Structure 1
Amino acid sequence: MGLSLLRTILPSPGFWTQNARVVFSSNMSDTSYLAGARPQAYTDLIAGLVFALLFATVTWSFLDLQATYVVTVGILYAITAYLIASNLPDTLPQPGLGSANRITMARCIGTLCLAGLVTYAESLGTLGRWSIVGLGTGIMLLDGVDGWVARRTGTSTEFGARFDMETDAALMLVLSALVWAEDRTGAWVLLIGAMRYLFLGAGLVLPALRGELAPSFRRKLICVVQGIALLIALGPIIPDFIAVSVSALAMAMLTWSFSIDVVWLLRPRPL
């Protein structure tokens, strides 16, 4: 299950909450793959656990949360690390996870720390809500950095592209859950983060939905709009009607984009 299941049913329409085909460059002509990458990557995963617990502890102290918050983040990280370790390739272009994947790991840890705040969202004060917006913004801004580093160093891999995409999707799911938990909108906002996973599930029933889609500027634009809309909705100074409006707009655009891709994938094909 986990990422292994996702591998069997991707590509799909979009990245972040959409299921686009992940298109990546694998220019490895100047870089030799390193055998035995797993042991060094495990060291990175252990270091990630230390960083996750440290960041969670700082957040716990800063926002005066219950100690269970740190435990929750630790459990979420353990599950994530297991999925990563289960899907590591035998060879990687750099020692350990590599520089680009370490940046993605930092984004992933930030997302897990946000996920741990979902159960506290309604009781957080203004400081806590601004902290959510700040951390979410930082994670989104880093989204292009890992890919840039991979291309710059010639170390793009299928594993790295998948790791990046799953982190993006998880972030959108967590942000939509936070918007709902803060009671800014109705439960329908959860569909913004869940739609991609629903699409993956539909692909198990309808194999045509596992088809390949060409890259699309439309999908990229809507992905950015989703993230911005959810962060706006989470803003403490944003009135509820604006939070509802921007979330509804993001939901409508996402539904429209999915519909285009679903219709294209299910179109009749010549015999």
Structure 2
Amino acid sequence: MVAGAATFLPHFDWTFVAWVMAPLAWIYLLTLRGLRAYPHDRFGPANVVTAFRAALVCLVAATFFRFQGLAHEQAMLWCLVATVVVTLALDGVDGYLARRFRQESAFGARFDMEVDAFFILILSGAALFLGKAGPWVLLIGLMRYGFVVAGWFVPRLNGPLFPSLRRKAVCVLQIACLCAILMPIVAPPLSSVIAAAALAGLVYSFAVDIRFLLSRTATG
């Protein structure tokens, strides 16, 4: 072995498999439950791609949070960043396939959105875990779930939202920014600045939607 070479050797045992499979099984169970309202007779290639993305997200999550010392292993981090990039790229594939095969549905859109939300939560946790930003970075991943909880107390927030390119662009921006700050070459304070910019964009997007929901209901 070359002197000074990295000694980090992740042990992919059954514990690691359990870390991957436990959240993935939960996601798939919720997906099966949602199929009751699915209007098509086949699951479809678009949903298969989304399901594969969910598996990649769970793999990334298990790798980040299962192994100690990962923050100092550049080769491993670059592999994870590459996986994140592939997962992000596939986010555009499922929508294309749904349109291509005329299998667009509310179920597919919700499935895609929830995988994205979970992905952002995992990446924001990884940013904190790797010391790329302070605990406030978790707000990026928790904001979507906070909005859902707020809807329990303010029913007007549960109203339908119009399709929005801005909303989709902000989602992609969150993942891209979080992916960037996970790169070994990006360190504080630059990583914190990038995360703060991503959070600001997300706050703005949620503020626009919340204002729309509250004002539309107030005016009937």
**TM-score, with length taken from structure 2:** 0.87
Residues of 2 paired with 1:270 and 1:119: CA distance?
Answer: 47
* Counterpart-to-counterpart distance in 1, 2:218 and 2:11: 56
Q: In structure 1, which of residues 34, 58, 72 is the aligned counterpart of residue 19 of structure 2? A: 72
Q: What is the aligned partner in structure 2 of residue 198 from structure 1?
A: 146
1:215 aligns with 2:163: yes
Match of 1:108 among 32, 36, 54: 54
Partner of 1:245: 193
Corresponding residue of 2:106: 158
Amino acid at match of 2:51: M
CA–CA separation in structure 1 for the residues paired with 2:189 and 2:65 = 23
CA distance in 1, matches of 2:168, 2:38: 30
What is aligned with 2:175? Answer: 227
Distance 1:227 1:63 in 2: 27
Higher relative contact order (CA 8 A, sep 6+): 1
Tell me the amino acid that sits aligned with residue 237 of structure 1.
Answer: I
Q: Identify the residue that residue 144 of structure 1 maps to in structure 2.
A: 92
Match of 1:116, SS state, is helix
Distance 1:250 1:146, change over 3 A: same
2:4 maps to which residue? none
Partner letter of residue 258 of structure 1? F
Offset at residue 66 of structure 1 (A): 5.0
**Runs of 4 or more off by more than 6 Å in structure 1?**
none
Q: Distance in 2 between matches of 1:169 and 1:63?
A: 30
State the partner residue of 2:36.
89
Residues 82-91 or 243-252, more deviating: 82-91
SS at match of 2:160: coil
Identity in percent: 37
Aligned mates of 2:44, 2:166 — CA distance in 1: 31
Distance 1:150 1:248, change over 3 A: same
Structure 2 segments unaligned to the other structure (5+ residues) = 1-7
Question: Following TM superposition, by how much is the alpha carbon of 1:160 offset from its aligned partner in structure 2, in angstroms?
Answer: 1.5
The answer to whether the Cα contact below 8 Å between 1:77 and 1:112 also exists between their aligned partners in 2 is yes
CA 1:120/1:184 → structure 2, altered by over 3 Å: closer, same or farther?
farther
Cα distance in 2, alignment partners of residues 190 and 179 from structure 1: 8
Distance in 2 of aligned mates of 1:103 and 1:189: 28
CA distance in 2, matches of 1:91, 1:214: 21
Q: 2: CA distance between counterparts of 1:175 and 1:156?
A: 28
Alignment partners' CA distance in 2, 1:259 and 1:195? 11
Aligned to 2:119: 171
Pick from 192, 199, 203: which aligns with 1:255?
203
What residue identity is the alignment partner of 1:86?
R
- C-alpha change, 1:170 and 1:154, in structure 2 (3 Å) is same
Q: Residue 100 of structure 1 contacts residue 149 of structure 1 at CA under 8 Å; is this kept in 2?
A: yes
Residue 75 (structure 2) pairs with residue 127 (structure 1): yes
Residue of structure 2 in register with 1:265 after alignment: 213
Q: Is the 8 A contact 1:121 1:178 kept in 2?
A: no
Farther off after superposition, 107-116 or 216-225 = 216-225
Q: How far 1:92 sits from its partner (Å)?
A: 5.5
The alignment covers a number of residue pairs equal to 209
Contact 2:156 2:213 in 1 (8 A): yes
CA distance 1:202–1:63, change in 2 (3 Å) = farther
TM-score (norm 1): 0.72
